[in-house]
Amino acid sequence: MHRLVAIALTLAALGCGPDATPPPTDNCAAPSAGTVDTLELGAATSTDLAGGSTAFAPLHDGDGVTLIRGGQGATMLGLKLRISGASAPTCLGQSTIINDTTGARITTASAPVATYDQPDNTRITKPIWLPGAYPSTFVVTVMAGGQSLTLHLHLLLTP
């Protein structure tokens, strides 16, 4: 039995085995100056996780989202932020908090994230990956650039 534990610990130290670490978020060093007039939240997909890019589709209160299983087995939610403003920041200070419906914390992210120009004069972030044990319904609160947004979301069942 001790031998099995030693083998499992060795494999974990070598990077073999499950790791709950999400893919890196596109962080930036420090929030830049700018004004945010609107803040929207969208869901990332497995295409985003694989390094591709999907079109931003804003989420609304009551929408369903799909959990994504990472390459190492962790389930996570990927969220993108879209902002607008005449001088929207290129490095956005943000706080994303996900709670269950009783208020218990599931996960958070608070590192500043880079934003990228879009043809419609908005700026969008790459996905913020949030691993966690998600219940069927939960609440996402995002605060960024002086704006806040709270959405009640639910998990979509996958066949």
Per-residue pLDDT tens over the stretch 123-156: 999 999 999 999 999 999 999 999 999 999 999 9
Residue 6 pLDDT grade (very low, low, confident, very high; cuts 50, 70, 90): very low
* Residue 5 forms part of a structural domain: no
* Look-up of token digits 């958070």: 108
* Residue 143 forms part of a structural domain: yes
- Closest among 100, 153, 96, 151 to 125, alpha carbons compared: 96
Q: What is the pLDDT of residues 9-57, one digit of tens each?
A: 333 433 444 444 556 678 999 999 999 999 999 999 999 988 888 999 9
Domain that residue 62 falls in: 19-155
> What is d(CA 86, CA 105) in angstroms, rounded to the nearest whole number?
34
**What CATH code is carried by the domain that includes residue 114?**
2.60.40.1930
* Residue 6 forms part of a structural domain: no
> What is d(CA 153, CA 62) in angstroms, rounded to the nearest whole number?
5
Report the predicted TM-score, pTM, of the whole model to 2 decimal places. Answer: 0.83
Q: How many domains does the chain have?
A: 1
Q: What is the pLDDT of residues 67-121, one digit of tens each?
A: 999 878 889 999 999 999 999 999 999 999 999 999 999 999 999 999 999 999 9
* Residue 24 forms part of a structural domain: yes
- Tell me, what's the pLDDT at 23? 65
Report which of residues 128 and 158 the model is more confident about: 128
Cα angle at 116 between 149 and 93, to 5 degrees? 45
1: amino acid identity, one letter: M
- Tell me, what's the pLDDT at 122? 97
* Residue 12 forms part of a structural domain: no
* Residue 2 forms part of a structural domain: no
- Tell me, what's the pLDDT at 24? 66
Strand (E) or helix (H) holding 11: helix 2-13
* Residue 11 forms part of a structural domain: no
* Residue 35 forms part of a structural domain: yes
